[in-house]
Amino acid sequence: MLASLLLSLTVAQPFQLGTNLPINAPHNAINHVECIFKQINVPFKLQKLPWLRAKREVQLDRLDGYFTANLLSQMQEYGELSAPMFLENWYWFTHADSASIAEHDLRYGVVRGSHQADWYQLTNRKIEVEVNTTQELIKVFKKQRVDRILLDLEEFEFNAVQLQIKPDEYTQTFYRYVPLGLFAANKTLKEFPDFLNAFNSHISSCSQSPFVLSKIEKLTLVNVLLEQIKQLANSDNVQQAVMKSNRQPLAQQDLDQLDNQWAQQVRDNTPILAERYLKLEGSQFLQVWQKQMQGVITEIIVTDKQGKNVIISEVTTDYWQGDEAKFLNMYQQDDDYYIDTVEFDESTKHFQVQFSVPIFDEKNQHMGVLILGVDIEKALSK
């Protein structure tokens, strides 16, 4: 089905896509889209359009899609958003003098036509000032014509440096991650029902860099969770389970065979081996601990020194973690924790990082790794 779709698209009219990004200048988003369309062998043509115009053209079935976009409720009936190509990291920036002002009395500023402007409209916030660029907005903010602005953290920091403003002059509060992708119009999805799956499948391979937490976010995550995670790693249930598993090492051939069997069962939606592990006493202890974390922790994996699962709180896609960064980095660095890149869970629509700490024996030697999936938005909101 997919092969015939791509073959037909190579001889069809190019997709018409709108974007408000500079078409003739290098830009990561445009390079990303170009790479994906080349990989799936689909021709396309870009039109530089303001967001309002692009949305209108999609609504009138005159445009196949636009990017980079977030999904607004007003557009849901007109198409579907791809998996995230980029993540914007939205923070509130507030003047210290405005800290005592009630929420509904705050004066907000925004860049005209931006994603934040759409968000303000949806959340019924009163906009005091609209400007055309991020630098203009930060200048207005610095002059205290507005009390609070909402911007991507990286964008704010970059522009603050250009304007010789110290970013830490203002209170910074994490708000949310915003996934940006390609919004595909209904007419396109109807004619080519496999297009979005094909597009999504190449997002990762065409990505120029993974999304990583900022320094302040890593520090926040460590402050919120590290001590509790270390206590879990030192608990009797975890320690005993790991020591027992380490006394029963597997040959690599047997490890690979068991890993393949486990993964195939999960893919077939018959996770017999995984469910057997979920019934272990140690796994049930992890499940109780995870529940007490009120949604901040999404999964827990305890491995032995080979990297094989010992106890788990949820069904995992793999049995052997020994070839993955979340395991290997515990043996290749001096830090007492490792935080992986941010991933988007398409099924839950949540953003997650893997937070790993070593498990030590009584001689302070590594004997395993404790790996936790963390809902990053809930963790940072704390």
Same domain for 334 and 190: no
Q: Which domain holds residue 149?
A: 96-169
- Which parts of the chain fold into alpha helices (H)? 2-9, 28-39, 51-59, 115-122, 134-142, 153-162, 186-191, 195-201, 203-206, 215-233, 236-246, 252-267, 272-278, 281-292, 325-328, 376-381
DSSP code per residue over 117-165: HHHHHHTTPPEEEEESSHHHHHHHHHTTSSSEEEEEHHHHHHHHHHTT-
Q: Are residues 164 and 201 in the same domain?
A: no
Flag whether 143 is in a domain.
Answer: yes
Which of 348, 351, 275, 345 minimizes the C-alpha distance to 316?
275
Co-location of 220 and 161 in the same domain: no
118 belongs to a structural domain: yes
Provide φ and ψ at 114, rounded to 5°: -80, 170
Is the predicted pLDDT of residue 260 greater than 50, yes or no? yes
Residues 190 and 160 occupy one common structural domain: no
**The pTM of the whole model exceeds 0.85:** no
Q: Return d(Cα 83, Cα 197) in angstroms, integer.
A: 9
Who contacts 119 (Cβ-Cβ below 8 Å, separation ≥6)?
Answer: 150
CATH of the domain at 162: 3.40.190.10
Q: Do 347 and 224 share a domain, yes or no?
A: yes
**CA dihedral for 316, 320, 324, 328, sign (positive or negative):** positive
- Asked whether the predicted pLDDT for residue 11 surpasses 70, the reply is no
Q: Are strands 350-360 and 343-345 parallel, antiparallel or unpaired?
A: antiparallel
Same domain, 233 and 367: yes
Residues 74-98 pLDDT 10s:
788 999 999 888 888 899 999 988 8
User: 269-298, pLDDT tens digit by residue?
Assistant: 999 999 999 999 999 999 999 999 999 999
Indicate whether 44 and 108 sit together in one domain.
no
pLDDT at 330: 78
Task: Please indicate, yes or no, whether residues 82 and 100 belong to a single structural domain of this protein.
Answer: no
CATH number of domain containing 304: 3.30.450.20
* Average model confidence (pLDDT) across the chain: 88
| pLDDT for res 25 | 56
- Does 272 share its domain with 308? yes
Asked if residue 292 is part of any domain, the answer here is yes
Give the HSE-up count for residue 177: Cα atoms under 13 Å, Cβ half-sphere.
26
Give 27 or 374, the one with higher predicted confidence.
374
187 falls within a domain: yes
Do 283 and 362 lie in a common domain? yes
**Which residues, at least 6 apart from 89, have a Cβ–Cβ distance to it below 8 Å?**
152, 153, 154, 174, 177, 178, 214, 217
Say yes or no: 288 and 183 in one domain.
Answer: no
